[in-house]
Amino acid sequence: MITYLQSIILGAVQGITELFPISSLGHSVILPQIFGWNIDQHANYFLIFLVATHLATALVLLGFFFRDWALIVKGVVRSIKIRSIDSTDTYAKLGWLIIVSSIPAGIFGLLLEDKIKSLLASPGYTAIFLILNGLLLCGAEVLRRNSQNKSKIGDGEVDMEHSDIRIAQVSWSQSLKVGCAQCLALIPGFSRTGSTIGGGLLIGLNHDDAARYSFLLATPIILAASVLKLPELIGAGGTGTIGPIIVGSVSAAITAFFSIRFLTKYFQSNKLTPFAVYCVVAGILATVILAIK
C-alpha cells in the first residue's frame, strides 16, 4: 500500500510533471523503484491513486482556465444551435478544435488500455522512453526553427492580441496532427504536455500559444479518463487507500496550481530545450540506477 509520505511525494511529483513536459506517468513508475518503495504497480490501488491525482490536476486546470472554458462551452452551444461554425466565432472554433484533437488519444486509449497497464510495471523501459521524450522535445525545437511555415500562426507578423484568437486559426487537419502527437503520452515516459506543445510548434504555433492549447486540451482528456475510472474508487480496490488517495490528490492540486502559473509565463519567452536536457539526463541516470539495483 501507499503510505501518507509516499502519497504526498508522488502527488506533488504528479502535479508538477503532468504540466511540465517531462512525463508524470514516467516519474510515477520510475521513482518508487529508485526509492525502493514496496508499492505493487500491478495493483488496482496504484492505478486508482494515479487516476485520482490526475483528476486533481485536471480540476486545477479547469479552474485556472475557467473563463476560457465558459466562453468555449458557450461557443460550441452557439455553433450547435445554428448548425455551423461562424468563421468569426473564435470560441466556437476553438471548442471544436479541442474536440477534434481529443479524438485520437481517446480512441487509442480505449484500444490499448491493457497494454498500457502492462507498461506501468516496466521502469526500465519507461526510463528509455523518458530519454526519447527528451529527444522528441529537442527535435520539435529544431524542426520548428528550420520550418519555412513557422511564422504562419501566432508569430509577431499576425496582428491579433489574444492567444485564443491566434489558436483558432489552426486548421482541422492541423488540430488532428496535434491530437495524434498526444497519443505518444499513452506510453509511460512520454509527456502529454511535451508531445502536444511539440505538435503545436510543428503546425506553426509559437511557444506561448502551443502551451496554452496544450493546457486547454489536457482538461477534457484527463477528466474523461478519470470519470471512466471513478467507479473503481468506490469499490474494494480503493477503500483501503482512501486516505493516501485524498492526501496525494491535494498534494497534486497544490503543485499543479503553481506549475501552471509558472509555465504560462515561462513559455511567453522560453523554449522546450531545458526540459529536453532534463529528460535525457534523468532517463540515463534512472537507467543506470535501475541496472545497478
134 membership: H or E segment, kind and range = helix 123-146
- In terms of Cβ atoms closer than 10 Å to its own Cβ (0-12, 13-18, 19+), residue 290 is middle
| 122 torsion bin: left (phi>0), alpha (psi -120 to 50), beta (else) | beta
Phi, psi of 22 (to 5 degrees): -130, 15
Domain containing 231 equals: 4-292
- Taking each helix axis from N to C terminus, what angle separates 123-146 and 24-35, rounded to the nearest 10 degrees? 140
pLDDT, one tens digit per residue, over 171-226 is 999 999 999 999 998 888 999 999 999 999 999 999 999 999 999 999 998 888 78
Residue 159: pLDDT band (50, 70, 90) is very low
Torsion 89-179-107-67 (CA) sign? negative
Q: Is residue 16 predicted with pLDDT exceeding 80?
A: yes
Lowest average pLDDT, out of 87-91, 121-125, 142-146, 235-239, goes to: 235-239
pLDDT confidence of residue 121: 59
- Position 40: which residue type? D
10 Å CB burial of residue 41 (0-12, 13-18, 19+) is middle
Answer yes or no: are the C-beta atoms of 219 and 65 closer than 8 Å: yes
Show the cell assigned to 93: 472554433
Q: List Cβ neighbours of 90 (8 Å cut-off, separation of 6 or more).
A: 75, 162, 164, 165, 168
Q: Which band of pLDDT confidence, cut at 50, 70 and 90, is reported for residue 234? A: low
- Res. 274: pLDDT tops 90: yes
Cα distances from 192 to residues 8, 179, 196, in angstroms, run: 22, 10, 6
Q: pLDDT digits over 34-63, tens only?
A: 998 988 877 778 878 888 899 999 999 999
Instruction: For cell 511529483, name the residue.
Output: 13
The Cα 24–Cα 122 span in angstroms is 15
DSSP state of 247: H
Using one digit for the tens of pLDDT, what is the confidence trace for 64-78?
A: 999 999 999 999 999
Number of domains in the chain: 1
